[in-house]
A = this chain, B = another copy of it.
Amino acid sequence: MVERHVIDTLRDEFELHGFQEVETRAVEPVSRLAGESEAAKEIYTLRRIHADPEEKGSGLGLHFDLTVPFARYVEEFSGRLVFPFRRYQIQKVWRGERPQEGRFREFYQADIDIVGRDSLPVRVDAEIVIVMAKALARLPVPKVEIRMNNRSIVEGFYRALGIEDIPGVLRMVDKLPKIGSSGVKEMLVEARFDGKVIDGVLALASVSGSEEDIRDQVEQVAGKHGGGEAKDAVQVGIGELVEVLTIVNGALPGVAIADLSVARGLDYYTGSVVETFLKGHKDLGSICSGGRYDSLVAGGGYPGVGMSVGVSRLVARILQAGLAAPTRSTPTAVYVAVAFEEDRSHSESIADRLRIRGIPTEVSPTAAKYGKQIQAADRKGIPFVWFPGEGDDGEIKDIRSGAQAEADADRWTPPREDLKPRLERR
């Protein structure tokens, strides 16, 4: 029920902002899925159970995220879509990694993306972040902190430092939250980078701040470690980063900050990159991340920006930390008792008259003593029991308070908060 609530809330907020739902098949040709990312190494491939053992396999695999299949979708249906195309997608994905707390091999992701034709203003990067932040604010979790960076700052700076394998260094920096600065330094040393280069990489990654002071900070580090060339190389990225932060914090004051250590392990990002943390739950890692990609769709021409929430990770934390719980575990609001087996159709008719008005109702499976029937309803957490009368609809009892009153099955309605199970923040 918590998962359903989270998914329905995200769906509602995304649709309020005009995102259309897309669902893609869970299975794609492996050739489509595979790439350089860490996740691509964890693809599950499929094989029919009775396939010839000599057979090479089906060439099919389960998708490991929703971005790669969406790029396939845009390519396949571009002729039928109106751009900029706003889509959301909430589905399970699979990764063959070692399961551990907050990491699953089968889990839900919820993605939003906006994809343009040929161009897409940087402002849209901010729009994606704002929609996601508004959606997350409706969930029963603490406030979020959004940390943003821009690939072109980092790449411009790295290039000015003479680094050739930029994606490789990015992947090392991406491990900062896990292994710390000294761990990343060790990796860079092992990869035989110059001490001066390593100092520069780590100095840039230590920068964070607001839209007001981030330009000065970045320029200072760039100048110190890479001179005028590095300072020039970071200008476009800084401009974009400041613009996006200004729009996001204008709409939702203080929700986003610049953090130059945000790297994202995925190769396809080309501009803004974003990670999102729950206040007081940093140990959970980023719960929602994404960024700008300019050529994810084969052949290019469809720049896009998107973010993805790790729904299952979030739900697991809500459950485990007791952040919210449903008011009851069954949809049923009313349990109609059965006086004696021959009178069952009377109870069924009362139930149908309640259901037709949208009140979830079930009828007792037995005509046991009323005490037993009340007990059965109570065990299921159903708030009301209806006792059919002789010749009339009878009475309804709130089994929490014990209050009981005559009622008409065509008129009686439960209090609004009892109609359906709700999620209560704890």
The residues of A with any CB-CB pair to B shorter than 8 Å are 1, 3-4, 15-21, 23, 25-27, 30, 34, 40-50, 57-58, 61-62, 82, 84, 86, 92, 94, 96, 105-106, 116, 121, 124, 250-251, 329-332, 345, 348, 355, 358-362, 365, 376, 379-380, 420
Query: Which of these, B47, B330, B376, contacts A44 with CB under 8 Å?
Result: B47
Cβ B82 vs Cβ A355 within 8 A? no
From known contacts A48-B43, A96-B49, A121-B365, infer whether A379 and B82 are also in contact, taking CB-CB under 8 Å: yes
Q: Please determine whether B49 and A61 come into contact, CB atoms closer than 8 angstroms.
A: yes
- Looking at A1, A46, A49, A250, the one whose CB has the most chain B CB atoms below 10 A away is A49
Contact status B380-A96, CB under 8 Å = no
Complex A-B, nearest 10 residue pairs according to Cβ-Cβ distance, in ascending order: A18-B362, A18-B332, A48-B96, A15-B331, A43-B49, A44-B46, A16-B355, A82-B379, A82-B380, A16-B360
CA distance A62 to B26 in the complex (A): 11
| The one of B17, B20, B41, B49 that contacts A49, using a Cβ cutoff of 8 Å | B41
Query: Cβ of A116: which chain B residues have Cβ within 8 Å of it?
Result: 365
Alpha-carbon distance A58/B99, docked complex (angstroms): 14
Complex interface: chain B residues within 8 A of A86 (CB): 362
Interface contact B50-A106, CB-CB below 8 Å: no
CB proximity of A386 to chain B, nearest CB, Å: 13
CA distance A61 to B16 in the complex (A): 38
Contacts of A1 in B (CB 8 A): 21
B-chain residues with CB within 8 Å of residue A47 when the two chains form the complex: 44-47, 57
CB distance from A96 to the nearest CB of B (A): 4
Q: Given contacts A27-B106, A43-B49, A48-B96, is CB(A17)–CB(B360) below 8 Å? A: yes
Q: Given A25-B106, A365-B124, A34 and B49 touching (CB < 8 A)?
A: yes
* Contact, CB under 8 Å: A358 / B16: yes
Report B-chain residues with C-beta under 8 Å of the C-beta of A345.
250
This chain: copies in complex? 2
- Chain B neighbourhood of A48, CB < 8 A: 42-45, 96
B18 touches A360 (CB 8 A): yes
Contacts A16-B360, A26-B106, A48-B96 known; list 13 others, CB within 8 Å.
A1-B21, A17-B361, A17-B362, A18-B330, A25-B106, A26-B26, A27-B106, A43-B49, A45-B46, A45-B47, A45-B48, A45-B49, A46-B96
Residues on B with C-beta less than 8 A from A82 are 376, 379-380
A92 vs B63: C-alpha distance when bound (angstroms): 14
How far apart are the CA atoms of A30 and B16 in the complex, in Å?
42
Q: List 21 A-B contacts (CB under 8 A).
A: A1-B21, A4-B21, A16-B331, A16-B355, A16-B358, A16-B360, A18-B361, A20-B330, A26-B26, A27-B105, A42-B49, A44-B48, A45-B47, A45-B48, A46-B47, A46-B96, A82-B376, A84-B365, A86-B362, A116-B365, A124-B365
Of all chain B residues, the one with the shortest Cβ separation from A30 is B49
Contact for A41 among B40, B50, B361, CB less than 8 A: B50
Q: How far is the CA of A111 from the CA of B113 in the complex (A)?
A: 32
Which B residues are CB-close (under 8 A) to A376? 82
> Cα distance A365–B376 when bound, in Å?
56
CA distance A34 to B86 in the complex (A): 41
- Give CA–CA (A48, B20) in the complex, Å: 33
